[in-house]
Homo-oligomer: A and B are copies of this chain.
Amino acid sequence: MMNSRMLFYFQRFSMSGSRHSIAVAAEVTISNWAAPGSTPSDVADVVLPNTAKINSTGLEKLVDDLLLRCWSDWRWFTHRVPLSSSTMLPGVGVFGTGSTARVLVPLLKAEGFEVHALWGRSEEEACCLAKELGIPFHTSRSDDVLLHQDVDLVCIYIPPSMTRQIAVKALGIGKNVVCEKAATAVDSFKMVTAARYYPQLLSIMGNTLRFLPAFVAMRQLLVEGYVGELQVCDVRVYGPSLLDQSYGWTCEELMGGGGLHTVGSAIIDLLSYLSGTRAHRVHGLLRTFVQQNGLIRGIRRVTSDDFCFFQMLMGGTGSSSVCCTVTLNFNMPGSFVHEVMVVGSTGRLIARGTELYGQRNGSKSEELLVGDNGWVGPEVKEMPLPLLQGLSSMVKALRQSFQAKEERRCWARGPVATAPTFEDGLYVQTVVEAVKRSSSSGEWECVEIMSHEPDPNQNLCEALKRNKN
């Protein structure tokens, strides 16, 4: 025992019937371990006897005894013996074998994280990438990663339709989670519920743009009043097709494919981060200009958007609201434009790629505020530089967050305080769905964040009620 603080994770098995496995994670330290009436969910600190020399097996026995005595409906799930500060970073399990996962693993390793396990949709995919990236364990069964004893942080970069399931389960098992967006607002809501239930676990959405130095600086300058009163945000992202080589979720709007869902959601999140407000009304139009190509043909047809523009009114209502316009076009092979401009009453800031420029109303020309810092990381063809550098910055922030605490699973909020939460993820997904609705209806749509999970039997219930009357 090198440190006095420890982490224990408990899983609760309900006593009432078949519905089980509502889990709670609790951080346990020696300060009030002896309080036998307390339950893990309300224990912040638990006093341990002076067991500085206790070994792992002894600790297990001690905890088991305690559980038997007073927390009989709780089961100790896993534990971690704290380590020296040089190895304080959590072990990582990565879900996904796509381009992001491929980039993420080297970035994690560069920051000192150990990647212990990789999940892929097929054994072959997982095996192949694990070998390539030197990951000791691979699998196509999600539980094998989630239950892996060396995995404390789970990074989920898989198709949107599968994200919710893994993310919620990972939190339930007591793992910290960084994950990509879900496919629907309902899924996002379920993730929010899980994250609320485990407030001490890290649960952040993987929108890395918030971590890009240019946007960190932009936000800081906005707070400091560089542009005065914010009036307009104007965003353009142009690039080549987002479709995979073969037919898959990227082609399917309902599976979370398309420019709006894939790229637009990151912009929606970014704009709320930058402006400090949220959209209340949106309007948009989606198009699928390329419905078939050399690889996707026959009866198959792309339904996800390759062109989208949308407007958001953010912050105050009426004329005081901020007008945001976003244009996404993924019919432009051979180019990549990523431009975010914010215009206010006294100046403007423009992020072009990874660089930030500014111009105050008085001055005659733009000034370079954040330069291209000469990216020395890997060059990745499929991943635009802002996302790549943002991902790198996010991994750095994760390292700082975990390093600030002495236990592996333990993290400090500071370095990741600006990361998008699951609540942000729900907001983003809600805006995405409102834009899609607007594209169908042709009207401005309100952004109304879900406050409770829709009852899947609602229609049935209403039918029954009607029959009753």
Residues of A with Cβ closer than 8 Å to B? Answer: 231-232, 234, 236, 283, 285, 287-290, 307, 309, 311, 319, 323, 325, 327, 329, 331-335, 343, 345, 348, 359, 361-366, 442-444
Contact between chains at B335 and A359 (CB < 8 Å): yes
Contact between chains at A334 and B363 (CB < 8 Å): yes
Taking a contact as CB atoms closer than 8 A, the residue among B231, B359, B361, B443 that contacts A442 in the complex is: B443
CB distance from A312 to the nearest CB of B (A): 11
A to B CB contacts below 8 Å, 6 in the list: A231-B287, A231-B307, A285-B311, A333-B361, A334-B362, A442-B443
Known A-B contacts A307-B232, A309-B311, A444-B442; the reply to A285 vs B363 at CB < 8 A is: no
CB distance from A160 to the nearest CB of B (A): 24
* Complex: A236 Cα to B236 Cα, angstroms: 11
Total copies of the chain: 2
Known A-B contacts A283-B283, A332-B343, A334-B365; the reply to A327 vs B234 at CB < 8 A is: yes
* Complex: A327 Cα to B231 Cα, angstroms: 14
Ranked 6 nearest A-B pairs via Cβ? A442-B444, A231-B289, A333-B361, A309-B325, A334-B364, A325-B327
Which chain B positions have C-beta within 8 A of A232?
A: 289, 307, 329, 331
* Complex: A386 Cα to B126 Cα, angstroms: 55
* Complex: A275 Cα to B293 Cα, angstroms: 25
Contact between chains at A329 and B343 (CB < 8 Å): yes
Contact between chains at B311 and A331 (CB < 8 Å): no
CB distance from A358 to the nearest CB of B (A): 11
Residue in B closest to A364 when the chains form the complex, CB atoms? B334
Contact between chains at B359 and A334 (CB < 8 Å): yes
CB distance from A285 to the nearest CB of B (A): 6
CB distance from A297 to the nearest CB of B (A): 16
CB distance from A274 to the nearest CB of B (A): 17
* Complex: A327 Cα to B323 Cα, angstroms: 11
* Complex: A285 Cα to B309 Cα, angstroms: 14
Residue in B closest to A307 when the chains form the complex, CB atoms? B232
* Complex: A319 Cα to B236 Cα, angstroms: 22
Taking a contact as CB atoms closer than 8 A, the residue among B288, B311, B319 that contacts A319 in the complex is: B288
CB distance from A151 to the nearest CB of B (A): 41
* Complex: A333 Cα to B348 Cα, angstroms: 10
Which chain B positions have C-beta within 8 A of A334?
A: 359, 361-365
Contact between chains at A319 and B442 (CB < 8 Å): no
CB distance from A64 to the nearest CB of B (A): 63
Contact between chains at A323 and B287 (CB < 8 Å): yes
Which chain B positions have C-beta within 8 A of A444?
A: 442
Give 8 new A-B contacts, CB below 8 A, not counting A231-B287, A288-B319: A231-B307, A232-B289, A232-B329, A283-B283, A287-B319, A287-B323, A309-B311, A334-B365
Contact between chains at B231 and A345 (CB < 8 Å): no
Contact between chains at A231 and B331 (CB < 8 Å): yes
* Complex: A307 Cα to B311 Cα, angstroms: 13
Which chain B positions have C-beta within 8 A of A443?
A: 442-443
Taking a contact as CB atoms closer than 8 A, the residue among B231, B323, B332 that contacts A348 in the complex is: B332
* Complex: A332 Cα to B319 Cα, angstroms: 19
* Complex: A290 Cα to B307 Cα, angstroms: 32
Residue in B closest to A344 when the chains form the complex, CB atoms? B331
Known A-B contacts A234-B327, A307-B323; the reply to A289 vs B363 at CB < 8 A is: no
CB distance from A231 to the nearest CB of B (A): 5
Which chain B positions have C-beta within 8 A of A359?
A: 332, 334-335
Which chain B positions have C-beta within 8 A of A323?
A: 285, 287, 307, 309
CB distance from A382 to the nearest CB of B (A): 16
